[in-house]
Amino acid sequence: MSAHGHPHAHGHAHGQHVLDRRVLVLSLCLVLATMAAEIVVGLVADSLALLADAGHLLTDAVALGLAVAAASAAAKPPRGPWTFGFKRAEILSAQANGLILGGLAVWIAVEAVRRLLDPVEVDAELVGWVALAGLAVSLVVAGMLSRAQSESLNVKGAYLHVLGDIAAFVGTGIAAGLIVATGWNGFDPVASLVVAALLLLGAYRLLRESAQILMLAAPASAPPGDVGRAIAAHPGVVEAHDLHVFSVTSGFPALSAHVLVEPGGDCHRIRIELEQVLAERFGIEHTTLQVEHVGADRGLVIRRRSSH
């Protein structure tokens, strides 16, 4: 007997994708407005830190645009050969965002080193005011994304971009203050190097998490060993094998397994009980369980092994 269980998972996921899309669109509008202001002031003030911030905001806009498209695709129902729908578009978006973050970090680092070797005079006061305004906008955007990012790797990618913005604006503001106080323009590229390091760290984390999902790794909330032991320990279960625990997309864990029960056991009841255990203990609501009675000969072998 096999069964497929996923109560309310799809309805919740669809509502989440709609909410994600609205938040992402609003965040995109705020980021584009801030980016335009930074480009203008960065060119006027000749500040690499500010132009680096603007470049980062450009990648934010691209990242948010990808995230909006991915959230829209993920909300579409399954059809044709796409039996899981397009939910993994979000993971592909997260991968793209990670690569963009890493590339931007390398560019900023190269430019920062060049300016350390050949410092450029910076209009620090103007840079400081723009950094303060940009910080305020980034904090608003981060606040909007913070709740949704815990349930979506796609939104988390955009959220990490915005956290990079916050760090960049703080660093730029501090550098502007130090330039005003000391007159040394080298603080501008130094702040850019700090931002580059933070961006690389964010890129690594995003690429690692999205790669784990693409490679069908088990989510941290459901270690296969613990899941297997929980199934095997359930009353009436003799053995569980062919166990696969994976994530279709972020926040969508799934499981398939072949479960053998004692001769005469109620396969239907045990399957329902196992679904409840998996949902309550591991948050897995999308399950495919093939539940069958163990053969008499095999049952004897299993009992002999378990006695040692």
User: What are the backbone angles phi and psi of residue 235, rounded to the nearest 5°?
Assistant: -55, 130
Domain containing residue 35: 7-214
Which of 39-43, 150-154, 254-258 is predicted most confidently? Answer: 254-258
In a domain, 193, yes or no: yes
CATH of the domain at 133: 1.20.1510.10
Flag whether pLDDT at 84 surpasses 70. Answer: yes
In a domain, 117, yes or no: yes
Question: 162: how many CB neighbours lie within 10 A of its CB?
Answer: 28
Task: Give the pLDDT score at 307.
Answer: 38
In whole angstroms, what is the distance from residue 216 CA to residue 224 CA? 12
In whole angstroms, what is the distance from residue 143 CA to residue 162 CA? 10
Taking residues 174-202, what's their average pLDDT? 85
In a domain, 2, yes or no: no
Considering the domain architecture, whether residues 188 and 84 belong to the same structural domain is answered as yes
Using an 8 Å Cβ cutoff, are 252 and 154 in contact? no
pLDDT digits (tens, 9 = 90+) for 95-134: 887 888 888 889 888 988 988 888 777 778 887 888 888 8
In a domain, 1, yes or no: no
CATH of the domain at 290: 3.30.300.30
Mean pLDDT of the chain: 79
CA distances from 234 to 81, 270, 271, 274 (A): 36, 8, 10, 8
In a domain, 200, yes or no: yes
Q: In which band, very low, low, confident or very high, does the pLDDT at 46 lie, cut at 50, 70 and 90?
A: confident
Taking residues 75-88, what's their average pLDDT? 76
3-class SS of residue 252 = strand
Considering the domain architecture, whether residues 169 and 240 belong to the same structural domain is answered as no
Flag whether pLDDT at 155 surpasses 60. Answer: yes
pLDDT digits (tens, 9 = 90+) for 240-294: 989 999 988 877 899 999 999 999 889 999 999 999 999 999 999 899 999 999 8
Do strands 252-261 and 286-293 pair parallel, antiparallel, or not at all (unpaired)?
A: parallel
Task: Give the pLDDT score at 123.
Answer: 78
Task: Give the pLDDT score at 10.
Answer: 46
Considering the domain architecture, whether residues 173 and 37 belong to the same structural domain is answered as yes
3-class SS of residue 219 = coil
Task: Give the pLDDT score at 259.
Answer: 94
What pTM was estimated for this model as a whole?
Answer: 0.67
The last residue of one of the domains, among 171, 193, 214, is 214
Q: In which band, very low, low, confident or very high, does the pLDDT at 297 lie, cut at 50, 70 and 90?
A: very low
User: How many domains does the chain fold into?
Assistant: 2
CA distances from 93 to 81, 216, 217, 279 (A): 21, 17, 18, 28
Flag whether pLDDT at 5 surpasses 80. Answer: no
Specify the amino acid at residue 109: A
In whole angstroms, what is the distance from residue 196 CA to residue 56 CA? 10
In a domain, 166, yes or no: yes
User: What are the backbone angles phi and psi of residue 260, rounded to the nearest 5°?
Assistant: -105, 135
In whole angstroms, what is the distance from residue 250 CA to residue 90 CA? 8
Q: In which band, very low, low, confident or very high, does the pLDDT at 232 lie, cut at 50, 70 and 90?
A: very high
Gap between the terminal Cα atoms of the chain: 30
Flag whether pLDDT at 301 surpasses 70. Answer: no
Flag whether pLDDT at 146 surpasses 90. Answer: no
User: And the tokens for 256?
Assistant: 């398939």
Taking residues 67-86, what's their average pLDDT? 74
Q: For the chain, how are helix, strand and coil distributed in percent, rounded to 5?
A: 70, 10, 20
The number of residues making up the chain comes to: 308
Q: In which band, very low, low, confident or very high, does the pLDDT at 20 lie, cut at 50, 70 and 90?
A: low
Sheet with 286-293, strands from edge to edge, namely 2-5, 286-293, 252-261, 237-249
